[in-house]
Amino acid sequence: MTIDLFILLLIGFMLIAGLIAVESRDLLSAVIAIGAGGFALCVIDLLLGAPDLAFPQVVVEVIALVLLIRMIITRRDTSRQTPPDTLRTAVVMLCGGIFIVAVFLAAGGVGGAGTIPPFGEPVLAGSPAAGVSHGYLAGSARDTGAANAVMGILLDYRAYDTLGEATVIFVSILGGYAVLRSVGRKKTGEAGAE
């Protein structure tokens, strides 16, 4: 099984997980389906050689799953059951099909002559910004000594940007902790007693 076929299977899994999340009547099942789709994206990032994208994705997925599952488990369900909406399901399926056809045609369809450049080719080949990206790529192996050009660029040329992204992840972890903590919170009956 080639990597391209495995990536296509993971993309199909992500689409199925998204449909399950949209159509599920149980909120916990929808959250788990979204998490499964996010973890499939992490595996795709790793297969494409982008650990710099996969690791933050895993961290965000874990934090989001913990927060959402905690909120679902502790909430009181005051909703009522509604009959299934066939029109909504049909619209979701139609939009998903149109999206898949558009991506297939943009990638070149069966012949492979689409508008998206082949994997590994620079996206900005004809633009003025291509000089910057070519300079980064040409100098990354020489200046940084990194085996992975993406990691060399992120950690040497764009270190402050990477530090900012790590700070955002750290602040989201602190925010998750602040939401989930139980020390210092008042019970519902105590708030009106003061």
pLDDT in tens, 93-106: 898 889 888 877 77
Q: DSSP letter at 156?
A: I
Where does 41-125 show beta strands of DSSP type E? none
- Cα gap 7→164, rounded to integer Å: 30
Q: Is the pLDDT of residue 37 over 80?
A: yes
What is residue 110's predicted lDDT score, i.e. its pLDDT? 59
The count of structural domains within the chain is 2
The verdict on 68 and 129 lying in the same domain is no
- Residue 82 forms part of a structural domain: no
Question: How does residue 131 score in pLDDT terms, banded at 50, 70 and 90?
Answer: low
User: What is the tens place of the pLDDT at every residue in 75-125?
Assistant: 766 666 667 678 888 888 898 889 888 877 776 665 555 556 666 666 655
Question: How does residue 127 score in pLDDT terms, banded at 50, 70 and 90?
Answer: low
- Residue 13 forms part of a structural domain: yes
- Find the domain containing 167 and state its range: 124-181
- Residue 175 forms part of a structural domain: yes
User: What is the tens place of the pLDDT at every residue in 135-147?
Assistant: 777 776 677 777 7
- Residue 105 forms part of a structural domain: no
What is residue 71's predicted lDDT score, i.e. its pLDDT? 79
* Torsion of Cα atoms, 89 then 96 then 31 then 46, to 10°: 160
User: What is the tens place of the pLDDT at every residue in 62-77?
Assistant: 888 888 888 777 776 6
In a 13 Å sphere around the CA of 5, the CA atoms on its Cβ side amount to: 2
Question: How does residue 13 score in pLDDT terms, banded at 50, 70 and 90?
Answer: very high
Q: DSSP letter at 144?
A: I
What is residue 40's predicted lDDT score, i.e. its pLDDT? 92
Share of the chain above pLDDT 70, in %: 71
Give the C-alpha distances (Å, rounded to integers) separating 109 from 13, 98, 116, 118, 124.
Answer: 20, 14, 11, 13, 22
Mean pLDDT of the chain: 76
Q: DSSP letter at 164?
A: H
Q: Which of 74, 98, 113 is the last residue before a domain boundary?
A: 74
Share of the chain above pLDDT 90, in %: 4
- Residue 20 forms part of a structural domain: yes
- Residue 166 forms part of a structural domain: yes
Residues in the chain: 194
- Residue 192 forms part of a structural domain: no
Q: What is the pTM of this model?
A: 0.50
- Residue 116 forms part of a structural domain: no
* Torsion of Cα atoms, 45 then 49 then 51 then 56, to 10°: -20
Dig out the tokens for 95 from the structure: 């939009």
